[in-house]
Amino acid sequence: MTRLARPPVYRVARTPTRFATPPPPAPEAPLRPAASSWGLVLELRNDFGFDRLIRVTYANGSHDTIRLDDGFAGAIGASFLPLADGRFGTRATVGLKLSFIRGSNGSAWYTMFPVELVEFAYGGPFRLGAGFSLLVAPRLSGTGFLGDKGMSFAPSPGGVAEAEWIFAPQTRTGVGVRVAVHQFSTSGVDRTAASTGLVLRSDFDLARRAHAD
């Protein structure tokens, strides 16, 4: 029987693959809230005053009170002038503030237009601010048995300080607390009144710039 020859064995060195698998992408840095060159500010506030303006007692013994710096407010404005890579900025807003008492035989409405100019700073997930506040045309109006309680105040200057937690960095939306002090004047009588309250605020970057660490 004829033995078949064993086929030759060729050894070939393995060369590295030309198209190597790329490394996985690095994780994106979290967004850092920062002031924009031009932002649209929307906010809701609820302030609780300490100095009584008017108090109504009902037949059943219950009562309602309006205080000098009370009220629920909505405001619109702008943020601008960013400094230090957006860590600082300026915000200007104007709004309407309202508090009321309503009964079956009369009601009272307390209205004003708050104007604020605030310098603010971002620190991690927090936004801190302080600045000037002016209450334009504070006015108490009454109807029914409260019709003689109406009074008007001169524009009331003051100051405000705020601290917020930013829970939505993309829109710079935060919730926080605020403290304000204003000087009220009417019929030659001056009264200083303070309030504390809650604020919900968004600051939309109209320049559409994202800031990352």
Domain limits at 80?
38-205
Reported pTM: 0.80
pLDDT in tens, 88-105: 999 999 999 999 888 777
Q: CATH number of the domain at 146, please.
A: 2.40.160.20
Best CA proximity match to 83, nearest among 35, 144, 147: 35
Residue-wise DSSP of 1-32: -PPPPPPP----PPPPPSSPPPPPPPPPPPB-
Residues of the chain falling short of pLDDT 70: 1-30, 209-213
Say whether 109 sits in a helix, a strand or coil: strand
Give a yes or no: residue 145 inside a domain. Answer: yes
Count of structural domains within the chain: 1
Quick one: pLDDT at residue 40? Answer: 97
Rounded to whole angstroms, what are the CA distances from 19 to 16, 22, 23, 151, 185?
A: 9, 9, 12, 81, 79
Radius of gyration of the chain (CA): 31
Give a yes or no: residue 148 inside a domain. Answer: yes
Please answer whether residues 191 and 172 qualify as being in contact, where contact means their C-beta atoms are separated by less than 8 angstroms: no
Give a yes or no: residue 4 inside a domain. Answer: no
